[in-house]
Amino acid sequence: MNHYNSEGETWDLEIKPKVSLFSLNLKEVWHYRDLMLLFVKRDFVAQYKQTILGPLWHVIQPILTTLMFLLIFGKIANIPTDGIPPVLFYMSGVTIWNYFSGCLTATSNTFVANAGIFGKVYFPRLVLPLSIVFSNIARLGIQFGILIIAILYYALFKQVPVVFGSQWLLLPLLVILMAGISLGLGIIISSLTTKYRDFSVLITFGIQLLMYATPVVYPLSFLSNKSYAWIIYWNPLSAIVEGFRFALFHTGSFTYSSLLYPFIFMIVVLLFGAMYFNKVERTFMDTV
Amino acid sequence: MNTVIKVENLSKQYRLGQVGTGTLSHDINRWWHRLRGKEDPYLKIGEANDRTQRGNSDYVWALRDINFTVQHGEVLGIIGRNGAGKSTLLKILSRTTAPTTGSIKIKGRVASLLEVGTGFHPELSGRENIFLNGAILGMTKKEIKQKFDEIVDFAGVERYIDTPVKRYSSGMYVRLAFGVAAHLEPEILVVDEVLAVGDAEFQKKALGKMKDVSSKDGRTVLFVSHNMTAMKNLCNTIMYMQHGKIVEIGQTDTVINHYLTHSEINSEMVQSFAKPEDAPGNEFVKMKRIEALPILANPFDPITIETPINIEFEFWNYVPDKELNLSLHLYTPTEECVFNVYTDAKLLPEGLNKGVCEIPAHLLNDGIYSVSMMIVAERAYSLYNFEHVISFEVNEKRGISGWHGKHAGIVRPKLNFNFV
């Protein structure tokens, strides 16, 4: 029956035990872009079905967190805020930090949470963590909106001038850095979790600990003479959070060159993460 | 003819048991071997996957050195007992897991129906789920839009299209899910046991759609099912698998018959022995002959639900001083007893005796049945039980309905059920 088959035949697809570490198949991910958008929509719509307040929760949560920080770190611990009104200081920190923690928590759970789908159909697995990063951008957008309202409120009623300038162009860059780092770390952890669930335990309190090692509730300048300051300097997220405040309020000890380190860090975790994810996605159904 | 799937030396190894600290030590050992450029030490071990026997190794081969090709437009049925490797093969083919060794080469897009409804989100409406599910299965938004009305129509859920699917009945859910999957246009469709769900009407639709997909559109279908009637109706070729290996690939009827013969139940319709010395039994009784005799106008016709069948049993009796009776059990392939009938007890002369049990037409459903014959003494204890000595298959009466599925129920009696 196979008269027409010759050795030089072309196949559309070859399923093999191992693939090259770098065959990321981004072209295939692009082919599934509609799916990515639908996942974004699903995440967004399904989360607030059967809640009364719906998407309002995106607003309430950062406001309550800001008030809590204001009380504990501002009033009780009396930590300075770099000359920024404390509400704006905490709210800006919470906004960018929530984006990171939201992305990381969700992406690090990719394999385990979606084992049901992954076990039955094939689509490029990378679509899911990517969709999470995008759906969180929508959330970031809402929270950023509230932050803008707060800034305008302070400008109108408290005579705190809005510092609008070219440094605002930094914002998208900072969001991309946050997205890249959380995606990279998230897919590494999700890959590890398929075999060793220990990492899913680690991630919940790990993110909390990391927040205190990042200048979210205190300014970087506060640490200038402290012996433990090196921890915060080695944290690639420090420069991003600090940069976020610099872009909005033009204060703090931020320099443009400090973003080089988070940038390199992002490239490294993304490359390593993609390689590892790529290796694990092919057989994770056997171990998950 | 054009080969669209080529499977070469395909193997898949699984590790059994819990993932725990043992996993870490094996991982480290594996990594250490790789670091020194040596072969994975755990690939050498592992045993054939026979779930009925307790193995010694933590590793089993769910598939071992599988080779086959599938031609364009072929409908390949895969049969085998549970654990034979059928589903593993389909999983590798649909890329939900990777093989351990070997390769599969494919021409065209593969879509799998490993389980319908994959990725359905209960909170989303039918409409939203059609788009989501279609996209998961690899369709673009545009393609789904084109097929949308057809899918809704096929599923018959127009009224509920904007209701969250968690409010759907299970039947509606399955119909919608199958609808999406069935309207994909892959070159190769992989189907695993979709027929186990849904009502009669849906099964008919689903099988009809699969038939269309292969015959009208010329697509290739790989189909796993335990439903031999559906297999016979749909497939041109059958692959019979056992313990992770291919036993036989070939023409549908031949392979299905071999498969049924290989199962532990004797698939012969007759067993007979000329001399008591060779016959099974013991010092009290020996079996001469047991036979299922269908009463057919033409002896070459198949047994259908409309065929009466006589079970004849001849045996040598060595206990003329005891009152004996025969007790017949009829079993389904899954060991469910359909019925147990018995004769009156009486004293029988020494030597050959014969009993006949008449199974009327319109009693049994279609399916395979096996017979056990027990000889009971003094209405109290069994002298010998000839277990599963013969079996026979009752076929669906073809042509009475367009439905290819199996009617529910163990029996299918013809009762007076009329409009009055």
pLDDT tops 90 at residue A19: no
Are B275 and B334 in the same domain? yes
**Four-point Cα dihedral B309, B310, B311, B314, nearest 10:** -160
- CATH number of the domain that residue B155 is part of: 3.40.50.300
Percentage of chain B with pLDDT > 90? 20
In-domain check, residue B361: yes
Q: Are residues B95 and B236 in the same domain?
A: yes
Rounded-to-integer distance, Cα B47 and Cα B96, Å: 23
Q: Are residues B228 and B345 in the same domain?
A: no
Q: What is the pLDDT of residue B312?
A: 94
- Within this chain, do residues B330 and B235 fall inside the same structural domain, yes or no? no
Q: Stretch A117-131: mean pLDDT, rounded?
A: 85
Are the C-beta atoms of B126 and B158 separated by less than 8 Å? no
Tell me, yes or no, whether B123 lies in a domain: yes
- Tell me: pLDDT of B129 over 90: no
Asked if B19 and A11 come within 8 Å (Cβ–Cβ), the reply is no
pLDDT confidence of residue B244 = 86
| Owner of token pair 């796993």 | B224
The answer to whether residue B399 scores a pLDDT higher than 80 is: no
Q: Quick one: pLDDT at residue A130? A: 92
Highest mean pLDDT among A187-191, B18-22, B184-188: A187-191
Give B313's pLDDT tier (boundaries 50, 70, 90).
very high
Q: Which residues in chain B are closer than 8 Å to A32, comparing Cβ atoms? A: 135, 138
Q: Does some domain include residue B408?
A: no
B198 Cβ neighbours under 8 A, 6+ residues apart: B171, B174, B175, B178, B206
pLDDT at B67: 92
Maximum pairwise Cα distance, chain A:
85
Q: Which of residues 104-163 of A touch B (CB under 8 A)?
A: 116-123
Distance CA B62, CA B42 (A): 15
Contact B119 A17 (CB under 8 A): no
More confident residue, B67 or A115: B67
- In a shared domain, residues B224 and B363: no
Smallest Cα distance from A279 to chain B, Å: 10
Reported confidence tier of residue A6, pLDDT bands at 50, 70, 90: very low
- Burial letters A126-163, b for 16+ CB under 10 A, else e: bbbbbbbbbbbbebbebbbebbeebbeebeeeeebeee
Closest CA to A148 of A132, A164, A137: A164
Does B314 have pLDDT greater than 90?
yes
Nearest in space to B89 (alpha carbons), one of B7, B160, B164, B32: B7
pLDDT for position B17: 56
Burial class (CB in 10 A: 0-12, 13-18, 19+), B400: exposed
Locate A262 and state its tokens. Answer: 């988070």
- pLDDT for A1: 38
Nearest CA to CA, how far is B221 from chain A (Å)?
16
The average pLDDT across A217-237 equals 83
CA distances from B112 to A135, A241, A256, B8, B16 (A): 28, 45, 51, 20, 26
Statement to judge: residues B131 and B113 lie in one domain? yes
Greater model confidence, B151 or A82: B151
- Mean pLDDT, residues B390-417 taken together: 76
pLDDT at B50: 53
Contact (CB<8Å) A117/B136: yes
* Residues of the domain holding B113: 3-12+64-262
In which residue are the tokens 């904007």 written?
B162
**In angstroms, what separates the C-alpha of B66 from chain A's closest C-alpha?**
14
If you average pLDDT over residues A245-262, what whole number do you get? 84
Verify that B368 and B345 share a domain, yes or no.
yes
The predicted model gives B232-246 an average pLDDT of: 86
Distance CA(B286)–CA(B350), nearest Å, equals 12
pLDDT confidence of residue A173:
92
Which of B48-52, B181-185, B280-284, B319-323 has the least mean pLDDT? Answer: B48-52
Gap between the Cα atoms of B185 and B236, Å rounded: 21
Answer whether residue A150 is part of any domain: yes
pLDDT of residue B326: 94
Residue B52's pLDDT is 45
For residue B9, give both structure tokens.
């030396």
Higher pLDDT, A50 or A85: A85
Tell whether the model's pLDDT for residue B295 goes beyond 60.
yes
Point out the domain boundary residue: B201, B231, B262.
B262
Interface residue A21 vs chain B (CB under 8 A): no
Q: Is A4 on the interface with B (CB under 8 A)?
A: yes
Residue B267's pLDDT band, with cuts at 50, 70 and 90, is low
Q: What is the pLDDT of residue A4?
A: 44
Q: Is the pLDDT confidence value at B265 over 60?
A: no
Same domain as B254, residue B283: no
What's the rounded Cα separation, in Å, for the pair B329 and B389?
Answer: 11
- How does the average pLDDT of chain B come out, rounded? 81
Question: Average model confidence (pLDDT) for chain A?
Answer: 84
Nearest to B198 by CA among B186, B210, B185, B207: B207
Q: Choose among A4, A5, A12: nearest Cβ to B106.
A: A12
DSSP-derived pairing of the beta strands B47-48 and B59-71: parallel
pLDDT band at A202; cut points 50, 70, 90: confident
Distance from CA of A283 to the nearest CA of B (A): 5
Q: How confident is the model at residue B54 (pLDDT cuts 50, 70, 90)?
A: very low
Helices (H), B137-245: 141-155, 170-182, 200-215, 228-234
Q: What is the pLDDT of residue A178?
A: 93
Q: What 8-state DSSP symbol labels residue B197? A: S
Asked if B73 and B213 sit in the same domain, the reply is yes
The verdict on residue B55 lying in a domain is: no
Least confident of A77-91, B18-32, B329-343: B18-32
| pLDDT for the residue numbered B297 | 81
Residue A2 lies in a domain: no
C-alpha span between A144 and A150 (Å, rounded): 10
Asked whether residue B53 is domain-assigned, the answer is: no
Please give the single-letter amino acid code of residue B212. D
Say whether A121 and B136 touch across the interface (CB within 8 A).
yes
- Total domain count for chain A? 1
Structural domain includes residue A113: yes
Is residue B252 located within the same domain as residue B352? no
Q: What's the structural domain count of chain B?
A: 2
Q: Please provide the distance, in angstroms rounded to a whole number, between the alpha carbons at the two ends of chain A.
A: 41
Last residue of a domain, one of B214, B233, B262: B262
CB under 8 Å to A144, separation ≥6 — which residues? A95
Tens-place pLDDT, residues B329-359: 998 876 678 999 999 999 999 999 999 999 9
| Predicted local distance difference test score (pLDDT) of residue A3 | 41
- Average pLDDT in the B171-187 region? 79
Q: Which two tokens stand for residue B419?
A: 């409009």
- The SS3 assignment for B313 reads strand
Are B403 and B204 within 8 A, CB to CB?
Answer: yes
Q: Do A15 and B135 touch (CB under 8 A)?
A: no
In this structure, is residue B86 part of a structural domain?
yes
Contact B19 A4 (CB under 8 A): no
A279 within domain boundaries: yes
CATH number at residue B299: 2.70.50.60
Structure tokens at B154: 């096929």
The pLDDT of residue A5 is above 50 = no
pLDDT at A96 over 70: yes
How confident is the model at residue A115, as a pLDDT? 80
Residue-level pLDDT at B404: 58
Q: What average pLDDT does range A46-74 have in this prediction?
A: 82
Instruction: Let me know: does B16 contact B42? Beta carbons within 8 Å.
Output: no
Q: Are both B229 and B307 inside the same structural domain?
A: no
Q: Which of A14, A117, A121 sits opposite B103 (nearest CB)?
A: A14
Angstrom distance (rounded) from CA B47 to CA B13 = 9
Tell me if B24 and A50 make a contact (CB, 8 A cut-off): no
> Are B375 and B322 members of one domain?
yes
Q: Assess whether pLDDT exceeds 80 at residue B47.
A: no
Which residue of A2, A42, A119 is in closest CB contact with B121? Answer: A42
**Closest by alpha carbon to B233, among B259, B206, B258, B260?**
B206
Show the tokens assigned to B31: 């990594």
Cβ within 8 Å of B, A 46-75:
46, 49-50
Q: Which two tokens stand for residue A173?
A: 């860059």
Which of the pair, B410 or B8, is modelled with greater confidence? B8
**What residue has token string 């649909």?**
B94
Backbone angles phi, psi at A51, to 5 degrees: -115, 150
Domain coverage including residue A89 = 26-47+55-287
**For chain B, how big is the Rg over CA atoms in Å?**
27
Nearest in space to B324 (alpha carbons), one of B374, B372, B389: B374
* Averaged pLDDT for residues B89-107: 87
pLDDT recorded at residue A2? 40
